[in-house]
A and B are shown apart, each in its own frame.
Chain A
Amino acid sequence: MSERKAPAPIVNIETKPFWDATAEGKLLIKKCNACGEVHWYPRSMCPFCHSMDTVWLESAGKGVIYSHSTMRRAPVPYCLAYVTLDEGTTMMTNLVDVDFDALEIGQKVEVSFADTGQGNALPYFTRV
C-alpha cells in the first residue's frame, strides 16, 4: 500500500488544461486532428506529423502495464510503471494499492487520482 504523498507537479501554460482536469478526475491526452494519432506526454505540436492542430481528448483511464519496477531502496517502496492506455499511447505513472510482488506486464489497470493539495491530482493506476 502506498503511503507516499502525491507531490505537486510542475505546471506551465501549455499543460495547465491537463492538470486542471485532474481536479475533476479526468485524464486528458492529446489527439492530432491532422493525422489522428494520440500522443503522450501532451504537447501542442503533434510529434508524429508536426501539425499544430492538436486537441484534448478524455481517456477512459483504462489500460495495461507495459513495464514496471518497484524501488525497494526508497523509505517507502513504490512502483514506477508505464501503462499503455486503451487509446493507444503509453504514459509513465505509479502503480498504487497493489501487491508489488504480484505485478506482471500485461495486467489490466485503471486510473486512480491522488490529490496533491495544490488544486490538482496525480493520475496513478491500480489493478482492475
Chain B
Amino acid sequence: MSIKGKAFIAGIYEHPTRDASDKSLPQLHAEVAKGALEDAGLTFKDVDAYFCAGDAPGLGGISMAEYMGINIQHTDTTEIGGSSYVAHIGHAAAAIAAGKCNVALVTLAGRPKAEAQKVGTGGGGRGPMFDPNAPELGFEAVYGPATANMYGMAAMRHMYEYGTTSEQLACIKVAASHHAQYNENAMLKKVVTVEDVINSPMISNPLHRLDCCVVSDGGGAMIIVSPEIAKSLDRHCVKVLGHGEAPKHLNGGKVDLTFTGAAWSGPRAFSEAGVTQADIKYASIYDSFTITVLETLEDLGFCDKGKGGEFVMDGNLISGVGKLPFNTDGGGLCSNHPANRGGMTKVLEAVRQLRGEAHEKVQVPDCDIVLAHGTGGSIGTRMGSATVILGREDA
C-alpha cells in the first residue's frame, strides 16, 4: 500500500507578517487556517481533521479546534520540530487513504520575535527539547548547546572530513538572497555576495551571522484533501506522490554529524513516488543554517556524500541559473522562519512552484515534480527528518 495519488494539497496560505506583536498565537493559527481554506475554496465546516505540532497552544490539537470552532474526527499532533508539517502531509495522506478523514487542516504559527525569545545563541529555552525528563538533558544542557553551536559542530566536522569551505557554505546564502529580492515579504531582500557572508560576524565557528536563518513571527497552513474532493474543487491541486520520515540521533555515542536523517527519509520518499533526483525540477530544502542545506542535498542524493560544497557553487541553486533551483521564496535564510520552524514554508513554496504561482523571476518553467524537505531539532544532536515529493494534479 502506498499513499501515492491518495491525497492532494488543495489550499495553502502563508502569513505575510514577520513581526506579530499585534496578534496572539491562537489568532495567528486561526488566520492562516482561514487563509488556506479560502485558497482551496473550502470552509471551516468542511474540515474533518486537524494536524498541528508543538507550536499549537493548549492541549494537543483540541484547544485550537475549539478556538476555530471545528468539529473533527481525526487529529494528529506529531511533534518533530520544524519537520513536523512535512511529516503531516504523509500522515494526512495515510489517514485519508484509510478513510479516516477527507479534509485535513495543518497549521503552524509562532511569534518568537514578538516574544523576544533568545534563539540560536542563547541556550536553554522552552518546549519539548527542554523537558526536564528528557533523558539527554542532564548530560547536555549544562554545556550550553544553543542552536548555532550545535550546527557549528556539524559544519566543523563536515569541513574536516570533506574539505568543505566557508565560501562554499556562503554560496547557499547567496542563492537564497538572489531569490529573496523578489519576495516583498522577505525580511532580508538584499542580494549578498560570498564575501558579505564570510565577513559577517562569527556567531559560533565556522558559522557566521549570514550562515544563520532569520528569527521571525508568522505562520502558514495547508489543506490536504481526498482525490474526490480535489476533483470537485475549482483549484489546481497538488498531488502527493511520496513521503518519507526518519529520526536521527546520537546513536548511543556512535556520533556522526556529517549526515542527516534525510539520508533515510529521502530514499523512502523517492521510492514511494517512483521518481529519481533527475526528475525533481525544484527543491525546498530546510535552511536553518547553510550547513543544513549542504548536508541535506548530499543526503537526498542530489550529489555524492562530501561533494555538497562543489554542488552549491557557481549559482547552481539559483532559479534560471543552476541545475537545482531551491527555496525560491528566499527560505529561512532570507524570508522567514516562523516559530523557528521552517517545514511549513518549505511546502508552501513548493506548492506555488507546481501551480506556477511563484514570482515570475524565480518560477521554474514546466515545473511538474518537486521535493520539500524538513529538518527538526538539531543536526548536531537529534533531529526529525521528513521528505515529500509532490506533483502537478495530473502528475
Instruction: Assess A82 versus B255: contact at CB under 8 Å? Given A66-B157, A71-B204.
Output: yes
Q: Are B135 and A7 in contact (CB under 8 A)?
A: no
Question: Which chain A residues lie closer than 8 Å to B121 at the CB level?
Answer: 71, 73-74
Question: Which chain B residues lie closer than 8 Å to A89 at the CB level?
Answer: 252-254
Q: Are B144 and A80 in contact (CB under 8 A)?
A: yes
B167 within 8 A of A: no
Instruction: Assess A69 versus B205: contact at CB under 8 Å? Given A80-B149, A89-B252.
Output: yes
A81 within 8 A of B: yes
Query: A80 vs B140: C-alpha distance in the bound complex, in angstroms?
Result: 10
Q: How many residues on chain A are close to B (CB under 8 Å)? A: 44
Q: Are A78 and B253 in contact (CB under 8 A)?
A: no
Q: Are A47 and B252 in contact (CB under 8 A)?
A: yes
Query: A21 vs B222: C-alpha distance in the bound complex, in angstroms?
Result: 52
Of all chain B residues, the one with the shortest Cβ separation from A78 is B144
Q: Are A10 and B153 in contact (CB under 8 A)?
A: no
Of all chain B residues, the one with the shortest Cβ separation from A79 is B149
- A-B residue pair count with CB separations less than 8 angstroms: 123
Interface centre among A12, A40, A69, A81 (most CB of B within 10 A): A69
Query: A9 vs B255: C-alpha distance in the bound complex, in angstroms?
Result: 22
Q: Are A67 and B204 in contact (CB under 8 A)?
A: no
Question: Which chain B residues lie closer than 8 Å to A82 at the CB level?
Answer: 153, 255, 257
Q: Are A71 and B146 in contact (CB under 8 A)?
A: yes
Question: Which chain B residues lie closer than 8 Å to A10 at the CB level?
Answer: 132, 137-138, 141
Which residues B99-137 have CB closer than 8 A to chain A?
121, 123, 132-133, 135-137
- B172 CB to closest chain A CB, in angstroms? 18
Query: A38 vs B144: C-alpha distance in the bound complex, in angstroms?
Result: 25
Interface centre among B121, B204, B206, B253 (most CB of A within 10 A): B253
B280 within 8 A of A: no
Of A9, A38, A72, A92, the contact of B201 (CB 8 Å cutoff):
A72
Of all chain A residues, the one with the shortest Cβ separation from B153 is A67
Q: Are A72 and B137 in contact (CB under 8 A)?
A: no
Instruction: Assess A80 versus B138: contact at CB under 8 Å? Given A72-B203, A105-B156.
Output: no
Q: Are A122 and B142 in contact (CB under 8 A)?
A: yes
- What does the 1/0 interface line of A1-43 toward B look like (CB < 8 Å)? 0001011111110010001000000000000000001111111
Q: How many residues on chain B are close to A (CB under 8 Å)? A: 41
Q: Are A67 and B156 in contact (CB under 8 A)?
A: yes
Query: A97 vs B140: C-alpha distance in the bound complex, in angstroms?
Result: 19
B154 within 8 A of A: yes
Query: A42 vs B253: C-alpha distance in the bound complex, in angstroms?
Result: 10
Of all chain B residues, the one with the shortest Cβ separation from A48 is B252
- What does the 1/0 interface line of B183-213 toward A look like (CB < 8 Å)? 0000000000000000001111111000000
- B163 CB to closest chain A CB, in angstroms? 13
Question: Which chain B residues lie closer than 8 Å to A9 at the CB level?
Answer: 138-139, 141-142
Question: Which chain A residues lie closer than 8 Å to B207 at the CB level?
Answer: 69
Q: Are A92 and B145 in contact (CB under 8 A)?
A: yes
Of all chain A residues, the one with the shortest Cβ separation from B120 is A73
A126 within 8 A of B: no
- A29 CB to closest chain B CB, in angstroms? 8
Q: Are A39 and B142 in contact (CB under 8 A)?
A: no
Q: Are A41 and B156 in contact (CB under 8 A)?
A: no
B61 within 8 A of A: no
Which residues A74-90 have CB closer than 8 A to chain B?
74, 78, 80-82, 84, 88-90
- What does the 1/0 interface line of B152-173 toward A look like (CB < 8 Å)? 1111110010000000000000
- Residues on B lying within 8 angstroms of A by beta carbon are 121, 123, 132-133, 135-146, 148-150, 152-157, 160, 201-207, 250-255, 257, 381
Q: List 14 A-B contacts (CB under 8 A).
A: A10-B132, A40-B252, A41-B138, A68-B153, A69-B149, A69-B152, A69-B153, A69-B156, A69-B206, A80-B153, A82-B153, A82-B255, A91-B253, A105-B156
- Residues on A lying within 8 angstroms of B by beta carbon are 4, 6-12, 15, 19, 37-43, 46-48, 66-74, 78, 80-82, 84, 88-94, 105-106, 122
Q: What 3 pairs across the A-B complex have the smallest Cβ distances?
A: A69-B152, A40-B253, A89-B253
